Amino acid sequence: MSEPVLEVDNLSVTFRTRNGLAQVLDHVSFSLGQGETLGIVGESGCGKSMTALSIMGLVPTPPGRIAGGAVRLRGEDLLSAGERRMRSIRGNEISMIFQEPMTSLNPVFTVGEQIAETVRLHEGLSQRDALARAVETLKAVGIPAPEKRVSEYPHQLSGGMRQRVMIAMALACNPSVLIADEPTTALDVTVQAQIFDLLRELQDRTNAAIVLITHDMGAIAETADKVVVMYAGRIIESGTVGEILADPRHPYTQGLIACVPHFLANPPVERPPLVEIPGLVPPLSDLGTGCAFAPRCRHVMPRCRGERPPLMAAEPGHEAACWLLDEAVPA
């Protein structure tokens, strides 16, 4: 295993709200090597996007605040880096693909100008060379007629092409780490598959480390090497894709997998029914003292309501924050 290119160590983020202090991220830790893909999965509001914003140094302050921990890029702690240093890192060493390209792309500049701006800022290229790089990058992400598209505005492109422009912008400076935050939101399933195929092809070519943020376990199964499952700001299970899908230990992870439709090759075999996870994610300002998932869990025990379980080893490299693991171990 190579040295990790990205390490997140006990990252904690709080937000001030009308209802008090909300623990948005609670001691989140993971690492990622060059050429690896880490999937971060969970429902909306679990802390996935806030993890990405914290890595990028984009937590809105106030009302947010990094309460503790470290984010290291090749050993350099980004949380202690100044804003000037972070501006040199964003888009250059770490890039991010945001959820909705129509709100992330500037409507009054052509897509070529927006990609070229990133290259000029970080690599000091001339306007002509930067636009030439923009054309090359659009071609690399599979946009047809890039010489023409480089002069078009975001509203002139389809949703799938706008997302490819976002990927091109993120990859223009060959970053070491690429964060993809729900990169296929609002795209049809055919375009979603094309986007994930594109990310895999680009990773093979550039050896970039990818953090894929999604709520789709099917996408995780197809693209990721490692997975962290988040709930209410905490990591509640982590491991390799094979371990998590074959033997999920946390009831929440089991519920996420059970929500994925199964299309069996043999029609006479009855398909397993889809299972709904009851209830809603609790407000982060009122998580209580026990397991945050306890009100929705079908395996809840009295201990779950009074004690918050730590991450415990299920197998080497596979951890889950569930008292069921502790109960299974003889006293």
| Cα separation, 86 vs 92, whole angstroms | 10
- Structural contact between residues 232 and 292, judged by C-beta atoms closer than 8 angstroms: yes
Omega prior to 63 cis, within 30 of 0:
yes
- Minimal CA–CA distance to 257: which of 293, 281, 292, 221? 221
Question: pLDDT tens per residue, the chain (331 residues)?
Answer: 568 999 999 999 999 988 788 899 999 999 999 999 999 999 888 899 999 999 999 998 889 899 999 999 999 999 998 899 999 999 889 999 887 767 788 899 999 999 998 888 888 888 899 999 999 989 888 888 999 999 999 999 888 888 888 888 888 888 899 999 888 776 777 777 888 888 888 888 888 999 999 888 888 888 899 999 999 999 999 999 999 999 999 999 999 888 777 654 445 556 667 778 888 888 888 788 899 999 999 999 999 999 999 999 988 889 999 999 886 543 3
- Structural contact between residues 182 and 211, judged by C-beta atoms closer than 8 angstroms: no
DSSP state of 71: E
Question: Which one-letter amino acid corresponds to residue 79?
Answer: L
- Structural contact between residues 95 and 6, judged by C-beta atoms closer than 8 angstroms: no
Q: Is CATH 3.20.20.140 correct for 4-93+175-328?
A: no
Would you say how long the chain is, in residues? 331
- Burial of 139 by CB count in 10 Å (0-12 exposed, 13-18 middle, 19+ buried)? middle
For the record, the structure tokens of 146 come out as: 């890039």
- Burial of 61 by CB count in 10 Å (0-12 exposed, 13-18 middle, 19+ buried)? exposed
What's the number of CA atoms in the CB half-sphere (13 Å) around residue 103? 5
| Cα separation, 117 vs 172, whole angstroms | 10
Radius of gyration of the chain (CA): 21
| Cα separation, 6 vs 89, whole angstroms | 13
